[in-house]
Amino acid sequence: MTTVGPKLSIDGLIAELKTLGNISEAEPPVVTRVVFGEADLRARAYVKQLCADAGLAVSEDAIGNTFALWEGTDPELAPIGTGSHIDAIPNAGLYDGCVGVLGGLEAIRTLKQLGFTPRRSIELVIFTAEEPTRFGIGCLGSRMMANALTPEKARNLRDKQGRTLDELRAWAGFEGSLESVAMPLGRFGGFVELHIEQGPTLEREGVDIGLVTHIAAPASLRITVDGEGGHAGATLMPGRKDALTAAAELILALEAAAKATGAIDTVATTGVCDVFPGAVNSIPSRVRLETDIRDIDGARRDRVIDSLKAACIDVESRRGVTITLEQVNADPPATCDAAILAALEDSAKAAGKSYRKMVSRAYHDSLFAARIAPGAMLFIPCRGGVSHRPDEYASPEWIGAGVQILARTLAHLAS
């Protein structure tokens, strides 16, 4: 039995994580749960029921950010928030996001079981669409809560089938004006997100808890390359305008630009490459790329973006193709709140857990929650640092330690 602090078991939490993981568009153990899809709705219903069973008041906003409130004795004070996301990219695992949502719920249940009474309310948040799969932009729910994406721009978001955010949210049952999603500064008295590290450091060093000081600055750009296409056999090589070989040059140029900064914190990936018409005997006439560029130093990341833009101009003129580039987002990095980090550090010490400070190379909803509240994150190890894969794994011991530190910290902040 894995316990949280004084003889409290998290076996129920481990079972809930497995149940949630089975709510998937793919065959378990593969987790695919794209926002506003059928599996997403079933997962939301499951988690909302767990929150209601725990005696929390559940509500949703116009795009499906979900709130589960444990009212404190002084409800006028801004609540202490915790939470994360339950949507999952294709071919993902059980723990990314879900540890922060179900672990946050477990921390609340543990505090209730121990007879703690919060002065400030404690609010569990399930952010809509942390993953960029559906609309190409990450942290949609928290981004709009922080007013970092206006309703006007949000209305223009479409998925690959051309369906708009409004169409999809209405289908999922979320009504109300997009203008109602934005929250004022101070909406939360503090925000703490529990998440798996999605990297190898904690496990490799044998450290129980990561205290996140900074969250890397993510940027995403869409590139469309238009060539001429044609018959693969009858079109001679001279004069071809092959969209895919042109795109291949851009993919390699992006990789080279990220490596050229010389900083280990600069990363760049071309994760999506759609080829049209996609027939073996037809020269590609159009290619759509989606690129992901990150760094904990925003200016250094932007220099990589500039190199990519320069490569687009060079390839376009040399190959006679037409290249259009759309910057989907280029967010600043977040600095976590020192007082909340200190509270997390005190909790780790009190629980006798080892910890270290670190940056988050993945982005999280805390990147935007930090714009409306003092916030910080705590990481637990994940096996081999693996994430965004079905073999993603966090042990009950690691999860138990994270829930215990979270519970202690929430109790401290809500007192």
Candidate residues 21, 64, 97, 284; the one interacting with Mn ion per rule CB under 5 A: 97
Please state whether beta strands 31-33 and 355-360 pair in parallel, antiparallel, or not at all (unpaired): unpaired
Nearest CB to ligand HGY, comparing residues 176 and 271: 271
Q: Identify whether the C-beta of residue 356 lies closer than 8 Å to the C-beta of residue 203.
A: no
Q: Does 130 bind ligand HGY (CB under 6 A)?
A: yes
Residue 36's binding partner, choosing from Mn ion, ligand HGY, none, with beta-carbon cut-off 5 to 8 A by kind? none
Buried b (16+ CB within 10 A) or exposed e, 55-78: ebebebbbbbbbbbbbebeeeeeb
Nearest CB to Mn ion, comparing residues 97 and 381: 97
Q: Does 131 bind ligand HGY (CB under 6 A)?
A: yes
CB of 218 to ligand HGY, least distance (A): 7
Q: In whole angstroms, what is the distance from residue 40 CA to residue 89 CA?
A: 11
Among 73-81, 130-138, 144-152, 313-321, which window interacts with ligand HGY (CB under 6 A)?
Answer: 130-138
Q: Does 191 bind ligand HGY (CB under 6 A)?
A: no
Residue 138's binding partner, choosing from Mn ion, ligand HGY, none, with beta-carbon cut-off 5 to 8 A by kind? ligand HGY
Residue 136's binding partner, choosing from Mn ion, ligand HGY, none, with beta-carbon cut-off 5 to 8 A by kind? none
CB of 199 to ligand HGY, least distance (A): 11
Buried b (16+ CB within 10 A) or exposed e, 356-372: eebbbbbbbbbbbbbbb
Q: Which residue is nearest to ligand HGY (CB)?
A: 362
Q: Identify whether the C-beta of residue 16 lies closer than 8 Å to the C-beta of residue 98.
A: no
CB of 265 to Mn ion, least distance (A): 19
Candidate residues 178, 251, 362, 403; the one interacting with ligand HGY per rule CB under 6 A: 362
- Number of C-beta neighbours around residue 169 at 10 A: 21
CB of 244 to ligand HGY, least distance (A): 25
Candidate residues 96, 208, 290, 345; the one interacting with Mn ion per rule CB under 5 A: 96
Candidate residues 72, 104, 136, 138; the one interacting with ligand HGY per rule CB under 6 A: 138
Nearest CB to Mn ion, comparing residues 358 and 411: 358
Q: In whole angstroms, what is the distance from residue 158 CA to residue 167 CA?
A: 9
Q: What is the chain's alpha carbon radius of gyration, rounded to the nearest angstrom?
A: 22
Q: How far is CA 244 from CA 161, 269, 281, 321, 322, in A?
A: 22, 17, 13, 10, 12
Q: In whole angstroms, what is the distance from residue 184 CA to residue 182 CA?
A: 7
Q: What 8-state DSSP symbol labels residue 350? A: H
Residues that bind Mn ion (CB under 5 A): 96-97
Residues that bind ligand HGY (CB under 6 A): 130-131, 138, 362-363
